[in-house]
Amino acid sequence: MSSIESFIRGLPKAELHLHIEGTLEPEMVFALAHKHGMALRYPSVQALREAYNFTDLQSFLDVYYAGAAVLRDESDFHALTWAYLCRAHEQGVVHAEIFFDPQTHTVRGVAIDAVIGGIRRALLDAERTFGMTHRLILCFLRHLSAADAMRTLEEALPHAAGIAAVGLDSAESGNPPAKFAAVFARARRQGFLTVAHAGEEGPPDYIREALDLLEVSRIDHGVRIEADPALVQRLVRDQVPLTVCPLSNVMLKVFARMEDHNLKRLLDLGLCVTVNSDDPAYFGGYIAENYLAVHRALGLSRADIAQLARNSIHASFLSAAEKSVWMGKIAEFVATAQRA
């Protein structure tokens, strides 16, 4: 392993933009399909992986929702989440904030209790086993109606103690944050924090709506913000974090090549940029591969990489005391690496 690779993997960091359904590896798709006696359209694991050739967000979402159909019971959600947490732990993730999409499962007749129960059991296992902390974020599918989102919120309320925030994902264009203003207002009244995908394929105005109407703590993706300098200034001033997902952006053709990605420019503008993996089973890498890809393509220095890790802790929903512990550990890790 190169020295930069071991620096990246060893650096304590948080992952803040991760769809648990997007960690479903082809091997697990086949194992769960076999368990449940389901037929798959693909003859082999390799054939399935080769089908991951996306032209845009929607072309990915079609494959992603089809794959999630093999997740049927509590133990499936536990196995999925546990596999992700083990890989994240190996890559230096000390704290994970995880999205899940209940509507993808409840529409197929899977009970929300099985979804949340399995995910939470794995999160608690990781806390006991690795000392890894977590937050769980319930995402509404924005291509569905606001009424459907409101019903989903009501259904999740008995599990509110285990859910830190609500978010918004799925097809962005034509589904502005404004559509969900009432749902998010209700969620905030129930004590949930809020986040939203905005400015991935959609315009900077969606970022503004997410801030003004949904009162989000962070913007997921947000890379299209550059087109609106006044909005950039606002996010720099308020230090609203962006959870950027470099490999995702290239796989979904938001940027043609990693060399074209604007992450370094956003960082240099003073935005609180973080690096995350989004849907690692589909996009060719987990968090360390995302850090490594931007290091290689954009020439990020070790100082930039350490800044990204500090940003991830700062942007997390950890307490101020927990954040200060991790900032100290990052400083210690960087100092030790410099002496080596």
Give whichever of 22 and 118 is closer to ligand HPA, judged by the CB atom: 22
Taking CB under 6 A as the criterion, the residue among 25, 200, 209, 304 binding ligand HPA is: 200
- Cα separation, 44 vs 137, whole angstroms: 33
In the region spanning residues 168 to 187, those forming contacts with ligand HPA, defined by CB under 6 A, are 169-170
Is 194 near ligand HPA (CB under 6 A)?
A: no
Taking CB under 6 A as the criterion, the residue among 14, 16, 22, 79 binding ligand HPA is: 22
Give the interface size with ligand HPA as a residue count (CB under 6 A): 11
- Of 230, 223, 231, the C-alpha closest to 267 is 223
Residue ranges that bind Zn ion, judged by CB under 5 A? 278
In the region spanning residues 250 to 279, those forming contacts with ligand HPA, defined by CB under 6 A, are 278-279
Handedness of CA 28, 31, 35, 38 (dihedral sign): positive
Active site residue 200: yes
In the region spanning residues 133 to 172, those forming contacts with ligand HPA, defined by CB under 6 A, are 169-170
The neighbour count for residue 107, using CB atoms within 10 Å, is 12
Work out what residue 116 binds among ligand HPA, Zn ion, none; the CB cut-off runs from 5 to 8 Å by kind.
none
CB of 295 to ligand HPA, least distance (A): 22
- Cα separation, 92 vs 153, whole angstroms: 33
Is 197 near ligand HPA (CB under 6 A)?
A: yes
Is 248 near ligand HPA (CB under 6 A)?
A: yes
Strand order of the sheet with strand 218-221?
A: 13-15, 93-100, 133-141, 165-169, 193-198, 218-221, 242-244, 273-275
- Cα separation, 256 vs 279, whole angstroms: 18
Q: What is the DSSP letter of 238?
A: H
- Cα separation, 241 vs 215, whole angstroms: 13
- Cα separation, 149 vs 153, whole angstroms: 6
Taking CB under 6 A as the criterion, the residue among 13, 19, 78, 120 binding ligand HPA is: 19
CB of 133 to ligand HPA, least distance (A): 23
Give whichever of 283 and 326 is closer to ligand HPA, judged by the CB atom: 283
Which residues would be at the binding site for ligand HPA (CB under 6 A)?
19, 22, 57, 64, 169-170, 197, 200, 248, 278-279
Active site residues per annotation: 200
